[in-house]
């Protein structure tokens, strides 16, 4: 873990970058993709996340919709993080992200750029935004596992 990821200035730049140029920002017509539509009760964020799973491996993941900086950037970073990973790996990334949001522990190796959100947990009203994409992936993994 490089030191530069500890700098709040860098955190802000990572989020700006992913908000203004979100990665994997499109949806797929492929019917074999899992799909999760997430609309938070605050009636504002409205994201759809899609994921293709091949033999336990996440071969593609993408998202689109309307979201604030925090929900868009966190979902964008997440798609980067889990693409090409196994379901087990993705689950440990998600759990470790939740532990960070709960202000419990910070696993920089697993979370990479997602460490930019290490203090979001201090703003209770933004936690929903910062976890919306993670909830979507979690939901789709569960769906895959119960179907097997």
**Residues engaged in binding another protein (CB under 8 A):** 8, 11-12, 15-16, 19-20, 42-46, 66-70, 72, 116-120, 122-123, 125-126, 129-130
CA angle 103, 14, 121 (to 5 degrees): 20
CB closer to another protein, 42 vs 59: 42
Measured in degrees and rounded to the nearest 5, phi and psi for residue 46 equal -150, 90
Nearer to another protein, 20 or 92 (CB): 20
The sign of the CA dihedral 88, 89, 92, 98 is: negative
Crossing angle of helices 127-147 and 69-82, in 10° steps, is 40
Q: How far is the CB of 114 from another protein (least distance, A)?
A: 12
CA neighbor of 103 nearest in space, from 85, 125, 74, 123 = 123
Minimum Å gap between C-beta 21 and another protein is 12
Going edge to edge, which strands form the sheet with 34-39?
34-39, 46-54, 57-66
Which CB sits closer to another protein, 76 or 118? 118
Between residues 74 and 79, which has the closer beta carbon with respect to another protein? 74
Q: CB-wise, 72 or 96, nearer to another protein?
A: 72
What H or E segment, with its residue span, contains residue 53? strand 46-54
CB of 60 to another protein, least distance (A): 26
CB of 52 to another protein, least distance (A): 27
């Amino acid at each position: 873990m490089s030191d530069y990821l500890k700098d709040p200035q860098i955190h802000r730049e990572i989020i700006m970058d992913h908000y203004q140029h979100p990665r994997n920002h499109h949806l797929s017509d492929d019917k074999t993709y899992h799909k999760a539509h997430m609309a938070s009760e605050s009636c504002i964020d409205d994201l759809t996340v899609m994921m293709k799973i091949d033999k336990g491996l996440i071969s593609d993941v993408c998202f689109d919709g309307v979201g604030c900086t925090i929900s868009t950037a966190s979902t964008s970073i997440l798609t980067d993080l889990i693409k090409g990973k196994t379901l087990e790996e993705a689950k440990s990334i998600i759990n470790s992200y939740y532990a960070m949001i709960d202000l419990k522990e910070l696993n920089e190796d697993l979370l990479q750029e997602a460490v930019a959100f290490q203090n979001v947990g201090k703003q209770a009203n933004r936690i929903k935004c910062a976890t919306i994409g993670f909830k979507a992936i979690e939901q789709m993994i569960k769906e895959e596992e119960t179907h097997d």
